[in-house]
Chains A and B, each alone.
Chain A
Amino acid sequence: MCGLCGILGAGEHWTDSDNALKQRAGAETRRRERAHQVALTNRVLKHFGLELSDWHGSSFVLSNRTGASEVIDHFAALWPAAEKMIKRPCDPLDPKVLEALGT
């Protein structure tokens, strides 16, 4: 387990807060919520040449354009894995990243 997984709470990530999900359960199912999460994340990952896919609703698979892939047990592990794969930081303050989001 990488450091950040622990920091951000492996197994029950704060973004999967039960309160939050319960509140939203009436409007969107868990499956739709997860699909929404994957779709939005892929808008960001596209800039880095990466793609995330859901794996049976229990984990994720992160892939790059050369076919390398890594299973991500939970969302907390995504960014450390992405940085490891592209060998540079995924910085949301980078103007190039923000510019790419708008296209």
Chain B
Amino acid sequence: MSRYAAYLPVNVITGFLGSGKTTLLKRLLESPDMAETAVLINEFGEVGLDHHLLEQVDENIVMLKSGCLCCTIREDLATSMRDLWERRAAGEFGFKRLVVETTGLADPAPIIYTLMSDPVIRYHFRLGNIITTVDAVNGLSQLDRQPESLKQAAVADRLVLTKTDITDESTSELRARLRNVNPAAPVFLAQEKLTATKLLTNDLYDPKAKSKEVAHWINAEAFSDTPHHHHDRNRHDTNIHSFCLTFDQPIDWTTFGIWLTMLLQAHGENVLRVKGLLDVRGMTGPVAIHGVQHVVHPPVHLKRWPGDDRRSLIVFIVRGLEQEAIEASLAAFNALANNRSAAV
């Protein structure tokens, strides 16, 4: 396992305004599993309500000064994380995990950018996962009308439906929308007995859980959007959709790297999420890759395939990009390596 796996995991809890992020966080923090967890919350507006709700863990809370993580205070996040690390190194307090709660209007992508790009942070912290809360009462309307809400759902690794106890309406339509936007993320109910282990600790870099994690991605194929399926032109997310590509032939790693870096340079803003399990030529087990917009995390090599299917599988969640174009492009690049191999 690479040293990346040994870095401190960072869990990002996001979700639209009033969707129950803090309530969820508060519940998780009551769990003994969370004893060695530091928390960064983001005060938004004049009243730091989130802070008051989380006063039980104030020793580990560092309030961020500005209003929104996504664009204006990324440096604040980096400064806070560096400060936490220094305090940990000085023995002031120990923690093995960091949870960052965003504002309801935050775009999670710049937080991930900060994790991967800050020269200090990137060698001490890594992304654990992104948990997005979705309000069962207002969720559908927020997904329709609030681009921030949709983006938060699209980049999630875990979706948590909240307020299901105060609505009599079925959540089936909301679940269908979420599956359409993000087929690879399992959906939990906040009412369930949600433990820190269930939500936070099982991620791709956890040796015990990575196979289970990629199994979610494989299941995504079943839910994945078929071309033009589920599209409703009246919705704001008309152009956001997911699809799953499969490839029967092994993929050349070098060519894939050239292709994906080129794709993300040109279209990263519109590749909201990419997750894949690749049959890489010359390797015995699959390689898992995942990224959020321009950020690609270190790939993880698995010893064995989760099932009998050995085909490469890549789940894309994109905005305004056509499945056919991406599929044709990757196939053309992969053929480049095949042609070269044949010529040699």
Please give the residue numbers on chain A whose beta carbons come within 8 Å of chain B beta carbons, in ascending order: 4, 6-9, 12-15, 17-20, 23-24, 27-28, 33, 36-37, 39-41, 43-44, 75-76, 78-80, 83, 89-93, 98, 101-102
Contacts and interface: CB of A to CB of B under 8 A. Distances in A.
A69 to B, nearest CB: 20
Interface stretch (B9-17, B186-194, B222-230, B263-271): B263-271
Interface in B273-299: 280, 282-284, 287, 289, 294-299
Nearest to A83: B265
B319 to A, nearest CB: 14
Interface stretch (B97-105, B164-172, B320-328): B320-328
B256 to A, nearest CB: 8
Interface of B: 1-2, 113, 116-117, 122, 252-255, 257-259, 261-268, 280, 282-284, 287, 289, 294-301, 321, 325-326, 328-329, 332-333, 335-337, 340
Given A7-B116, A19-B301, A80-B265, A92 B329 contact: yes
Contacts, number: 124
- Please report whether the interface of chain A is mostly helix, strand, loop or mixed according to DSSP: helix
B261 A78 contact: yes
A94 to B, nearest CB: 9
| Most chain A beta-carbon contacts within 10 A, residue among B280, B321, B329, B337 | B329
11 contacts: A8-B261, A14-B296, A17-B298, A39-B340, A40-B340, A75-B257, A83-B265, A89-B265, A89-B266, A90-B266, A92-B263
Contacts of B299: 14, 17, 19-20
Given A76-B261, A91-B266, A92-B266, A7 B254 contact: no
Given A40-B340, A92-B263, A8 B282 contact: no
Given A7-B294, A79-B265, A98-B329, A92 B254 contact: no
A25 B329 CA distance: 28
B117 A93 contact: no
A55 to B, nearest CB: 18
B117 A15 contact: no
A7 B112 CA distance: 9
| Most chain B beta-carbon contacts within 10 A, residue among A40, A43, A78 | A40
Nearest to A43: B336
Contacts of B261: 8, 13, 15, 75-76, 78-79
Contact of B122 (A9, A75, A93): A9
A63 to B, nearest CB: 18
A98 B340 CA distance: 16
A93 to B, nearest CB: 5
B332 A98 contact: yes
